[in-house]
Amino acid sequence: MDKDKAVQEIKEIGTQAGSIPSELFKFFSDVSSRSLLVKGVAGTGKTTFALQLIESLKDIEHSIYITTRVSDEALYSQFKWLKEKEWHDRLIDSSRGFLRALVAEHVNSEKVDSRIEGAKAFLKTVHGTQEPRTSVDRRFLRTLFKDISIEEIENIYDRVQAKLPARSLVIIDSIDALAERYDVPHGKLLTTLQKDLVENSNTSMVIVSERSTDTTLDFYVDGVVTLHQGFVEGRRFREMSIEKLRGLSIKQARYPYTLLGGKFRYFQPFASKVELMHKTHQPICDSPGSNFKEGLFSTGNHDLDALVGGGYPKGAFILIELGDNVPQLGVMYMVGPTVENFLTQHRGVVGVAPGGLSSEIVRTIYAKVAGEENVREYARIIERKRVESKKKIPSVVKIDSSNIDSFLESWIAVEDELHQKTNAPVLITTSWDTLEYGLDVSSAERIATSLIPRHKTLGYLHVGVIRPGIKIAQMLRNMADVLIKVVSLDGALMCFGEKPRTEIYNIDLDEAFEHAHLKLTPIN
């Protein structure tokens, strides 16, 4: 395999969703070996990240994991997926002297000779006639430990040498415990490993440290990643920061991540996939007599149903509160599934377009996902009548807003018409910023206090959306039966429930589906 092809394979692996940021794949795909320092306090997932890195790089055969903190049995218990990878001979348990996993390994000299010859041919294409290294440099190790028995560290070097000229990936978890065991300064031990293994013996290395705020080790390595955990409105939030990657520009320095299922998964900035919205949506049947829980409407998405406790209660007022920098299409992904689920079951929908999106655009999106006929028959998008606007758009109802009483009367007439036509509950979606800015605060309050109680009585479903800055926000929060907040964190969309209270979930689209299928992943 030539160099360009090998590098390309690693880059392609880096595009796989949910594993490790592409910046780190590029970092480890460099022709030269690299060292990466992974910092974080206890519980941030440093071990999980290190193990995920091995799996994601598809280099289990040449990986050596050294743990000074827990036994391999404990690792298998916590990370059950490791058993599938047959890692027993590759895990080195320092608490048992590293010996059990190492002593049994024997090297077949003929295989090594064959491997060396093959590597020579490859390396000549990269470095001309330079001979591949077949022994580990130990000069710094012997200088640091002149009269001390260091069988454990020597075993690491031996293990690397047995794999030469192939490049090994050594993970030391953690450098703190290893330095304390031999009573040597962290910096000197790290320098020794960096010089002997990384710079002189074709070895890439990941070093784990719990000194999350100490930057003294940063200067010895090629890259630094810090794992953080904190709280957003009282809910745990995890974030990784890429502090340094020598030789690479860092386009995005921070990513949210989760440790769900004992695996590390990061989240990219939200990117709307408009092409996915041009597919027919399959409804989740929640009509009377279906298997859906009685007394609930489906949100149109299984993950969102689970978030709110099974579905939206009939007669409920649902409020979705958006934070700063949440894109409009992000709103559509939260509200859209419910609209589609009503329309594709031939139930009426009355809506007010979100600010920044015209009624015509909203109608076009709904027609793409729910079908033109369903939108024409069962959807009505309310818009303030403007004298200058004479264009007629199917399903868009223009109402004179100069008098709030007549405006409300006309709105209710639209709801009644759809209810009589379908003999089924109606879904109402309102963008309260559109109403407050388009009318005025008192008119928006009047609409809320008139329509929301009416919808509760009739068993309709009302889903409202608010953005920062509107003055009736607190009144709407108090009226809400279900309150979901949507925020942008490091560019990724996140949501969490206030009523009912939930943890934080990442919002993404599941590309296994042909339509815009919402996927929620908990940050835990």
Shared domain for 223 and 351, answered yes or no, is no
Shared domain for 205 and 312, answered yes or no, is no
Shared domain for 232 and 345, answered yes or no, is no
How do residues 104-121 score in pLDDT, each as one tens digit?
343 444 444 554 455 445
Residue 142 has pLDDT above 70, yes or no: yes
> CA dist 426 to 199, 296, 333, 446, Å?
68, 13, 20, 20
Shared domain for 225 and 368, answered yes or no, is no
How do residues 178-189 score in pLDDT, each as one tens digit?
899 889 999 999
The CA distance from 96 to 86, in Å, is 20
The DSSP secondary structure of 308-346, one letter per residue, reads TTSSEETT-EEEEEE-TT--HHHHHHHHHHHHHHHHTTT
Shared domain for 512 and 474, answered yes or no, is yes
For residue 492, give the 3-state DSSP assignment: strand
Half-sphere exposure of 268 (CA within 13 A, CB side): 16
Copy the structure tokens of residue 347.
Answer: 């139930």
The CA distance from 93 to 98, in Å, is 5
Q: Assign 240 a pLDDT band (cuts: 50, 70, 90).
A: very high
Residue 425 has pLDDT above 60, yes or no: yes
Q: State what percent of residues in the chain have pLDDT above 70.
A: 80
pLDDT at 66: 84
Residue 147 has pLDDT above 90, yes or no: no
Shared domain for 255 and 345, answered yes or no, is no
Q: Which of 465, 360, 374, 454 is nearest to 411 (CA)?
A: 454
- The residue behind tokens 């407050």 is 436
Copy the structure tokens of residue 432.
Answer: 């309260």
Shared domain for 383 and 439, answered yes or no, is yes
How do residues 426-467 score in pLDDT, each as one tens digit?
999 999 999 999 899 999 999 999 999 999 999 999 999 999
Among 234, 266, 298, which residue terminates a domain? 266
Shared domain for 281 and 236, answered yes or no, is no
| From 74-88, 218-232, 291-305, 391-405, the region with the lowest mean pLDDT | 74-88
Shared domain for 41 and 86, answered yes or no, is yes
The CA distance from 97 to 102, in Å, is 10
Among 215, 241, 266, which residue terminates a domain? 266
For residue 163, give the 3-state DSSP assignment: helix
Query: How many domains does the chain fold into?
Result: 2
Q: Which residues pair with 518 in a beta bridge?
A: 509
pLDDT, mean of residues 197-224:
92
pLDDT at 291: 85
| From 113-117, 211-215, 481-485, the region with the lowest mean pLDDT | 113-117
Distance separating the N- and C-terminal Cα atoms of the chain: 40
Average predicted confidence (pLDDT) for the chain: 83
pLDDT, mean of residues 43-61:
84
CATH number of the structural domain spanning residue 440 = 3.40.50.300
- Helix (H) and strand (E) counts in the chain: 18, 21
Shared domain for 296 and 250, answered yes or no, is no
The CA distance from 341 to 332, in Å, is 13
Shared domain for 181 and 300, answered yes or no, is no
* Top mean-pLDDT range of 126-130, 349-353, 517-521: 349-353
Among 207, 239, 266, which residue terminates a domain? 266
pTM: 0.84
Q: Which residues have C-beta within 8 Å of that of residue 317, sequence separation ≥ 6?
A: 452, 455, 456, 462, 464, 479, 480, 481, 482
- The residue behind tokens 């989740």 is 284
The CA distance from 337 to 356, in Å, is 20
For residue 262, give the 3-state DSSP assignment: helix
Could you tell me the residue range of the domain that residue 75 belongs to?
3-266
Please state whether 392 falls in left (phi above 0), alpha (psi between -120 and 50) or beta: beta
How remote is the C-alpha of 202 from its chain's centroid? 33
How do residues 56-89 score in pLDDT, each as one tens digit?
887 667 888 888 766 666 666 666 656 665 555 5
> CA dist 475 to 57, 121, 240, 448, 452, Å?
52, 74, 37, 9, 12
Shared domain for 196 and 284, answered yes or no, is no
Residue 323 burial by CB count (10 A; 0-12/13-18/19+): exposed, middle or buried?
middle
pLDDT, mean of residues 320-332:
86
The CA distance from 483 to 319, in Å, is 5
How do residues 248-272 score in pLDDT, each as one tens digit?
889 899 999 999 988 899 999 987 6
The CA distance from 491 to 489, in Å, is 5
